Amino acid sequence: MINILANDGISISGIEKLKKNNFNVDVNSVLQDELSDVINQKKISVILVRSATKIKKDIIDKCPDLKIIGRGGVGMDNIDVEYAKEKGIHVINTPAASSSSVAELVFAHLFGMVRFLFISNRQMPIEGDTNFKKLKKSFSAGKELNGRTLGIIGFGRIGQEVAKKGIGLGMNVLAHDKFTKEANITLNFFNGEKKTFTIETKEMDYILKNSDFITLHIPKTDEKAIIGAEEIGKMKTGAGIINTSRGGIIDETALMFALDKGKLSYAGLDVFENEPSPSTHLLMHNALSLSPHIGAATKEAQDRIGIELADQIITYFK
């Protein structure tokens, strides 16, 4: 029997599918520094991770019997993908499974930002019974998303899913991508009707200068932050920015400075430079809408991820 270690968990639907096909699935999480020993002791052939566990060169070298490294999600920066392939290890991920969930979180942050829910939810429990009128006045300058311009940096599956939701809200959608020149965005309506929009991508500077809100959907690189002080300086005064992609894509120091000076009005962060211990100063900032890296953390997405991983594993071995 082939042994699988789902170190960061896997959905029940994924486990059931694997077990029906005679795979043994272990969901007991192992500490990073004990991982290679456990893989060898338990004769693990497949290691499945999400963002918490790292599978780098040291583990790959110590675990010669590994056949598959699987990432439940899109980003692969916690895996030495090319090195694993050089060693004959099959590397898989689930790029399409969580697109809708991440896109919905983008708009959860967006709606919360423009209507000040991120800060009113903190202050209402403290002052709601004594300063109701004051709070009402403070949070009465909200904006509607309809008619605003949404800039999407990174126009792959998730970026295109964000575009669908933005178009549905009546937003003007702009996009930038290094590899995609244009994309057909099809909205499927409840009654079976469809409407397709073609979006041609623009240069990054154009997106920065012309967007009311910017959302990031690009992989992390080893280079400097993609959105730093220079890029923020090109954005509209009073704009907002959202990162549900990877920590480190935005220079957090430059972001807080821009918020303090009023260059940006608000930001939404689901990911952070120093996960799982983000800067306390960042977490306490009153212009930030925050969530703890939950972009793909919906029941529906986790079911799709588990089944997609299971299908790829079953196909590989059988």
Q: Catalytic residue positions?
A: 246, 275, 293
From the list 122, 5, 162, the residue with the least C-alpha distance to 69 is: 5
Token pair of 196, please?
Answer: 């397709």
From the list 79, 123, 96, 97, the residue with the least C-alpha distance to 10 is: 97
